[in-house]
Structure 1
Amino acid sequence: MKVLVIGGGPAGSTAATAMAQAGLDVRLVESAHFPRYHVGESLTPSCRVVLDAIGMSKILDDHGFVKKNGGVIHWDDDQWTFDWQAQSGVQSWQVDRSEFDALLLEHARNNGVAVTTGVTGRSVRFADGRPVAVECSPDDGEPFTIDDFDFLVDATGRNGLLSARHFGNREPLNNLRNVGIWGYWTGATLLPETPTGGINIISSPEGWYWVIPMAGGRMSIGYVTTKDAFARDRHEHQSSDELYRHLIAASPTIAGLTAGAEFLGVTRVETDYSYIAAQFCGPGYAIVGDAACFLDPLLSTGVHLALYSALTAAACVASMDRGEVDETEALRFFEFAYRRAYMRLFALVTIMYERYLGKDGFFRTSDRLIGDEQSGQPDTDVSSRSFAEIIGGLSDLREAADSSTRVITDRLREEAVRAQLQVVHAPDSDGPDFTPVRGDPLSDAESADYRLVTSPRLGLERVRAARP
C-alpha cells in the first residue's frame, strides 16, 4: 500500500515512520523547512512509550533535552504534585520543539520515508468518496499533483487541510477561546517541591501560568487567559513585551521564581482556541494531531494527542495492508480511540476552568474518567494517581492495548463525562453545550473487538470473534 502523509510535525513524522517500519511505501510532504520554531515543549510520559515503539527514545535521551519526571500544580487554594517516574517508572522530556521536530522528521527519512519539505498541500480531490489526489504548491517551482497513493494521512496541524479547508466541519469550543503569551529566561527557578525536570502550573484570577525548565539553563514562562481579558490588558499596555512584564510581576509566585533572572528577549503571543472536527477519518483517509482537534495547553497534552493518534492510525493502516482487518473496522477503532482520548481530557480542562470542584472532587472525577469503580466511596483514599495517569496519556495507551474491560469501563466513563459536563454547563451556566458528544463513538462496543499491539509488529489484534 502507498501512503501519502501531508505534514511533517510530530503527528505526521511519527505516523510516517511507524508505517514505513511496518513495510508500507510512505511519502511525506511538509510546507516548512526544518528546524522551525514551535511552542508545545512539555511532553507527557505517553510520548516516551510511543517513541520507544518507533526507536526514537534513545535518540532523544542522548540529545540532551531536560528529563521530565512530573510537575506541580497550584490551582486556587489547592496544591499537588504528580511524579510519573515514581508512579509508573516513565520519564518524558522538556524539549525545544525546533530540535525535537527536526529529529523526528530525520528519523522518518532514515526509516525509508520519502520526505519533501517546502511543499504545501493546497487541496484534496475526491472520487467516489475517497481522496485520489492532492494539489501541492512548492516554495519555488510550479504547482503539481500527487495522485499515486492508496491512503492519505492529514497531519497539517491547525491549517486542517481536510477538516477545516475541505469539509469545513471543525467545531470551535467557545468556552476555551484563550490566548497565550510567553517568553524565555535564564536564572529563573522552579517551585521547591517540583519533581526533577518538572513543570509548574500556577493559577491566577483570570488564567494560569506555566514554568518549564529547558536545556541550557533556560526557562519557558507563559501565561494563558481568555481572549477578552487579553484584549483588555493588551489595550492598557504599549507593547506585548510591556504586557508580559506586567503579567510576570502580577503573580507573587511567578515574580518570586523570576527574581534576579534575565529575560531573553522576544515575547510571543498565540491564540489557543480549542476545536474538534466532526469526523477524524473516512474511506481512504485519517486525520491526526491538531488537524483533527486541538485542546487548550493547560495539561500539556498536545504532543500526546499527536503521537497517540499517529501511532493508532499507523497501526490501523498497517493491519489493513496485511488484510488483518477491513478498512471500516480499522477506521472505527481509530475514531473511537482518538475521540475518547480527546473527550476525557476536554472534560478535565473544562472542569478546571469553569467550575473547579476542589482537589478531592477533581481527583474523584479523574477516577471515574478511567473507570475506577471505587471512586466516590467515602472510605476511598483520594489521590492524584488517576489524574496523573490521564494527563500523562498512559490511560489512553493502556486502554487501546487492553480491550478486556473496555465495554464496562467505557460505559462508566461515558456516564462520568456526560455527568460532569452537565455540572459544568448547568442550565444557569453561560457555557455552551458539549457539542463533541454528538455522534461520538464512546459507546460503540464494536470498537472493543480490537486492541492496538506493537509486538511482534504494529497493528490491530482481534480480541473476540466478529459479530454475525
Structure 2
Amino acid sequence: MTSDPSHPSDPSRSSNSPDYDLVVVGGGPAGSTAATAVALRGHRVLLLERETFPRYQIGESLLPATVHGLCRLLGVADEVARAGFTLKRGGTLRWGRDPEPWQFSFAMTPRLPEPTATAFQVERSRFDEILLRNAERVGVEVREGSSVRRVLADEGERDGRGGRVRGVEYTDPDGNTRTAHARFVIDASGNTSRIHGRVGGARVYSDFFRNLAVFGYYAGGSRLPEPNSGNIFCAAFDAGWLWYIPLRDDLTSVGAVIAPEHFAAVQHDPRAAWQDMIKACPDVDRLLTGVPVATEPPYDQVRVRKDYSYWKQSLWTPGMALVGDAACFVDPVLSSGVHLATYGALLAARAVNSALDGSIPEERGFAEFEARYRREYGVFYEFLIAFYDMERNEESYFWSAKKVTRVDLDEAAAFAELAGGVASGDASVISPGGLGAHWSAAAAELDGAVGRLATGEDRVNPLLSARIVAETFRTGNDLRDQALYGGPLDDSGPSAPDALTVTADGLSWAAAP
C-alpha cells in the first residue's frame, strides 16, 4: 500500500480524525447529486469514479422532477437547459386496448402546458459530465480513474452487519492502493457495485419484471408530429415492447425489452436479435425505414442487460448508505431510473448533512432516508404492474405473464416487506392477498383514465386524476416545488407523527414543528 504524507488520503491518518466528511463511490447522477448536496453545506467531500468522463451510459429519458427539481437544487438547471438536449413534453405509446398510439402529457392541462411540465432526452455522457463538473465547482474533490476495492470498517458486529464504516480503500490511476477515511460513505457505483454487500441484506430480484433489454442506436429516424416530436415512444408487440428515444436529429436510441427466454438468441448475435425485434414491431420499424444504424462511437455498439429489476433488503448501515442502481432499479418503461437514483441520493445527502451539523441523529435521519426511498421505489413498482396489466395482447407469452394475477406470492410478500404499507398509503393492503386486489383496482383505474384520453373532453389530464398516477408523480412535484418555492405548495404536513420535514434549501432534514 502506497503511503504519501502529502496526499489527502494518507493511510497513516487515524480514522478518528477522518480525511473527509463524506466519500462518494461513483460519479454518475446519483454520486454527483449526493456529493454536491453535501458540499453545498460546506462539508469536505471526496468522489471516486473508476472511469474517466465523459463516458457512455444508458438511460437517456428524464422526468420533470430531475430537470426542474433536482437540477435546480444542485444549481445546474440553467446549464442543463442551455445544453441543447431534446425537449420532452411527455410520452407517446402504442399500449393497451387502443390499436392507435396515444399521448400523455406531464402537464395538468395538456392544452396549456406549464413551463415546468417538461423534461429532456439526454445523451448521458454529456448530462452526467455536467453534473460531475458542477460537483467540482462547488468544492467536491473528484478523482477519476479511481476504483474502490473495499470498505474500511470497525471490527465487531452491530445488528449482524459488522462495525461502523469508516472509509474506503481504492486504486488510483497509477495503480497505487490508497485509503480515504470519512465520517460517511455513499455507494453510488451502480448495479455492478463491488461494495453494496457491506450494507447487508440480499438483492431481491423481481420475477414479474424479470426481463432482458437489448439496445442500440440509429443515425436518425422519423420524429412524431409537433408538438410531440421529442416524446419518448414506447410500443408493445408480441415479444415485449420497444423504446424509441430521439436524442438528436441524427441519433435515436432504440431498445427492446423482452422475456429472458430470448437470451440465447441475443447472446449468439445481439445485433441481429435487436434488429429482428425492431422488424417485429411495425410501429417502430416504420420510423426507421431507410435509416442506417449509428457508426459514431460509443453509439455503434449493441448492448444487453438482463435481470435488472431488484431492490436491496437494507439500504444503510452505520456510516454507509446505498443509492442509485447500487440500491435498486425497476423496469425502464416510465423512465424512472435517473429520478430514483438522484432522489435517493438527495435523501442520503439530507441524512449526512443533518448528522454532520448535529440537528438530527444519524439513525433517525437515515431511517427517514430509507423509508422515503422505499416508498418512492414502491409507487413506481406499483404503477408499472398496473401499466403492464393494461396491454391486451394476452395471446403473447410475454404479455400473458404480465398480468396482476400472475404476480408471484413470494414477490408480493417481499414487496409488502419492502414497502411496509407506505407505497399504497393503506396498511390494510400490505398482505400479499390484499396487494393483489389493490393492484387489480389500480390497473382498472389506469385503464379507464387512458380510455378518457382519447375523448379529449377532460379539462384536466385524466391520467393525473388516477390515484396511482398521482401517487407516482407526487414526490417529483414536491421536489420541483421545493426547488422553486422552498417547499411543496400542497404540503399537508408529515405523513406520520414522527416524520421529518425538509429545510428550505432541500438539503437537510428538520424536525417537524
State the TM-score, normalizing by the size of structure 2.
Answer: 0.73
Kindly tell me: are residues 287 and 333 of structure 1, through their superposed partners in 2, closer, same or farther at Cα, counting changes over 3 Å? same
How many pairs does the alignment contain? 411
2:37 counterpart residue number = 18
SS of the residue aligned with 1:17?
Answer: helix
Q: How does 1:43-442 map to 2 (within 5 A)?
A: 43-48=62-67, 49-78=69-98, 79-85=101-107, 86=110, 88-90=114-116, 91-127=118-154, 129-147=163-181, 149-164=182-197, 167=200, 169-192=202-225, 195-231=228-264, 233-234=265-266, 239-265=269-295, 266-353=301-388, 354-355=402-403, 362=443, 364=445, 383-385=462-464, 386=466, 387=469, 390=472, 394=476, 397=479, 404=492, 406-407=494-495
After alignment, is 248-257 or 312-321 more displaced? 312-321
Q: What 5-or-longer segments of structure 2 have no aligned partner?
A: 1-19, 157-162, 296-300, 389-401, 406-438, 450-459
Q: CA deviation at 1:274?
A: 1.1
Structure showing the higher strand proportion among its residues: 1
The answer to whether the Cα contact below 8 Å between 1:32 and 1:118 also exists between their aligned partners in 2 is: yes
Cα displacement (A) at 1:246: 1.4
Other structure's SS at 1:175 match? coil
Q: Is the 8 A contact 1:124 1:135 kept in 2?
A: yes
Alpha carbons of structure 1 residues 59 and 382: separation in structure 2 relative to 1, 3 Å: closer
Matched residues in 2 for 1:296 and 1:447: separation?
A: 32
Query: Which string of whole-angstrom CA distances, capped at 9 and with x for unpartnered residues, describes residues 178-219 of structure 1?
Result: 111122223412444772411111111221110111124321
Does the aligned pair in 2 maintain the 1:76–1:204 contact within 8 Å?
Answer: no
Deviations along 1:408-446, whole A, 9 cap, x unmatched?
Answer: xxxxxxxxxxxxxxxxxxxxxxxxxxxxxxxxxxxxx35
Whichever residue aligns with residue 266 of structure 2, its letter is R
Q: Cα gap change, 1:264/1:392 in structure 2, threshold over 3 Å: closer, same or farther?
A: farther
Structure 1, unaligned runs of 5 or more? 369-380, 408-444
1:321–1:69 Cα change, 3 Å = same
Aligned to 1:412: none
Contact 1:272 1:297 in 2 (8 A): no
Distance 1:39 1:275 in 2: 17
Q: Deviations over 1:5-64 (max 9, x none)?
A: 111111001110111011111111111111111100001111011010111111111111
Contact 1:44/1:391 (<8 A) preserved? no
Q: What's the % identity of the aligned pairs?
A: 34
More helix per residue: 1 or 2? 1
State the distance in 1 between where 2:361 and 2:272 align.
Answer: 57
Letter in 1 for 2:508: G
Structure 2: how far apart are the matches of 1:200 and 1:269? 20
Q: 1:363 to 1:59 in 2, by over 3 A?
A: farther
Give the Cα–Cα distance (whole angstroms) in 1 for the partners of residues 461 and 470 of structure 2. 13
What are the superposed Cα offsets for residues 144-184 of structure 1, whole Å, 9 maximum, x if unpaired?
2222x111111111123443466362122222221111222
Q: Detail structure 1 runs of 4+ shifted over 4 Å in the superposition.
A: 85-88, 356-361, 365-368, 398-403
